[in-house]
Amino acid sequence: MKKNLKKKFLIANWKMSKNYRDSLSYIQTLEKHYKDDIISANDNNITISIAPSFPFLESVCKHSNNVKTAAQDCAKYDSGSFTGEVSASMIRSIGAHYVILGHSERRKYFLETDDIIAEKLMRAILNDLIPILCCGESLKMRKSGNHLDYVANQIDYTIKSLIKKLENEPSIDDFITKDSSTHDNEKQNFKTFFSSFSEQNNFKWKQHILNFFKNLIIAYEPIWAIGANKIPTTKEIEDMHGGIKKCLKNIMDALNVRTFVDKNSSKFDNKIFHNKRGNGLIMNNLSLDIGEIPVIYGGNLNSSNASSILRCNNVDGGLVGRASLNVKDFVSILRSF
């Protein structure tokens, strides 16, 4: 591996694979590779993360000394009567660092919309989880020639929806299940968070958004290629990743120029950045290099194609699915940086 000062990520998404014994064996083997492979990865500023199934997440966390851990999803609620759901606060409490949100399989099989994903993003940032936001286009969209705009709009809408939800200053009670008796911790979390919306505490609100952009990871999934077991060309990957980074810059530019407006004013430019009182939430003087936001690739990445894909312009790492199930294959991908 060549010395690389730019931040890179390699994330293993096991999906619904591996039992308890397999999960522990994998992480223990991967940790043994740390001395030979991951120290070099650290020299290259590469962060490695494993996303096991929920039942084994805590055990993998406990056996991960150098490798970060991620959840494959989280609920859009923090607690309550939601059978089968796992909240961001639960995930953070066991030591996980990241959460994958908006994966193409969640969108397809569980009908998750951009609005639902925005709710989950909010839960993640409230609980200090780093979100890995997935995006991608279908074969129909790719053939239409509007794929770049489609993915940009997907990201733009989700992030602006997140900000709009925060700006609307909803009641704490709107986010708490009425029939649950165990809300004290959640209420305190929201009291702390929503107090930052007052004008005198606006700096705190800006810090939440700044931290969101500082920690955000975007994962591009070419759904049209995954479904057909194809690999996009390096040009197709570079074009899409470049388009995503341009989209992120546009969003940040819009935030950077926000200023307070008179509450009686009826004319707003870009209303999505105004709350119900008509006060623009000021984000000027927000300092962040958009190039720092990683955009990783996540479609049929394996040890055979990793070298060419991971060295593409604007590609800051990989989200590895099937090829991450074998630890030797995963380490081989790591060596491709």
CB-based contact 97:130 (threshold 8 Å)? yes
49 belongs to a structural domain: yes
For residue range 76-121, what is the model confidence (pLDDT) as tens digits?
Answer: 999 999 999 999 999 999 999 999 999 999 999 999 999 999 999 9
Return d(Cα 63, Cα 67) in angstroms, integer: 9
| Residue among 115, 336, 330, 136 nearest 222 (CA) | 136
Which pLDDT value is given to residue 295? 97
CA proximity to 312, closest of 336, 329, 328: 336
Contact between residue 320 and residue 304 where contact means Cβ atoms under 8 Å apart: no
User: Is position 269 within any domain?
Assistant: no
User: Is the residue at 173 inside a domain?
Assistant: no
Do residues 104 and 221 lie in contact, with contact meaning Cβ atoms separated by under 8 Å?
yes
Is residue 116 in some structural domain?
A: yes
pLDDT at 266 over 80: no
Cα 337 from Cα 333, distance rounded (Å): 8
pLDDT of residue 29: 93
Three-state SS for the chain is: CCCCCCCEEEEEECCCCCCHHHHHHHHHHHHHCHHHHHHHHHHCCEEEEEECCHHHHHHHHHCCCCCEEEECCCCCCCCCCCCCCCCHHHHHHCCCCEEEECCHHHHHHCCCCHHHHHHHHHHHHHCCCEEEEEECCCHHHHHHCCHHHHHHHHHHHHHHHHHHHHHCCCCHHHHCCCCCCCCHHHHHHHHHHHHHHCHHHHHHHHHHHHHHHHHCEEEECCHHHHHCCCCCCHHHHHHHHHHHHHHHHHHHHHHHCCCCCCCCCCCCCCHHHECCCCCECCCCCCCCCHHHCCEEECCCCCCCCHHHHHCCCCCCEEEECHHHCCHHHHHHHHCCC
* Number of separate domains in the chain: 1
Other residues' Cβ atoms within 10 Å of the Cβ of residue 203: 10
Q: What angle do CA 223, 105, 231 make, to 5 degrees?
A: 25
Is residue 19 assigned to a domain?
Answer: yes
Sequence-separated (6 or more) residues with CB below 8 Å from residue 224: 137, 138, 139, 141, 142, 230
Q: Residue 321: inside a domain, yes or no? A: yes
pLDDT, one tens digit per residue, over 42-51 is 666 889 999 9
Q: Is the pLDDT at 130 greater than 80, yes or no?
A: yes
pLDDT interval class at 58 (50, 70, 90):
very high
Whether residue 188 is predicted with pLDDT greater than 60 in this model: the reply is no
Residue 205 lies inside a defined structural domain of this protein: no
Average pLDDT of the chain is 80
What is the end-to-end Cα distance of the chain in Å, rounded? 6
pLDDT band at 2 (very low <50, low <70, confident <90, very high): low
Place of tokens 């930052």: 196
241 assigned to active site = no
Burial class (CB in 10 A: 0-12, 13-18, 19+), 32: exposed
Angle between helices 184-194 and 114-126 (to 10 degrees): 90
pLDDT average, residue stretch 20-46:
81
Query: Residue 185: what pLDDT?
Result: 54
**310 domain residue, yes or no:** yes
If you average pLDDT over residues 155-169, what whole number do you get? 79
For residues 43 and 3, the answer to whether their CB atoms sit within 8 Å is yes
> Which residues, including other chains, have CB under 8 Å from residue 36's CB and lie 6 or more apart?
none
CATH number at residue 43: 3.20.20.70
Amino acid sitting at position 150: Y
Options 33, 63, 97, 103, the catalytic residue: 103
Which domain range does residue 33 map to?
8-160+182-191+215-250+295-334
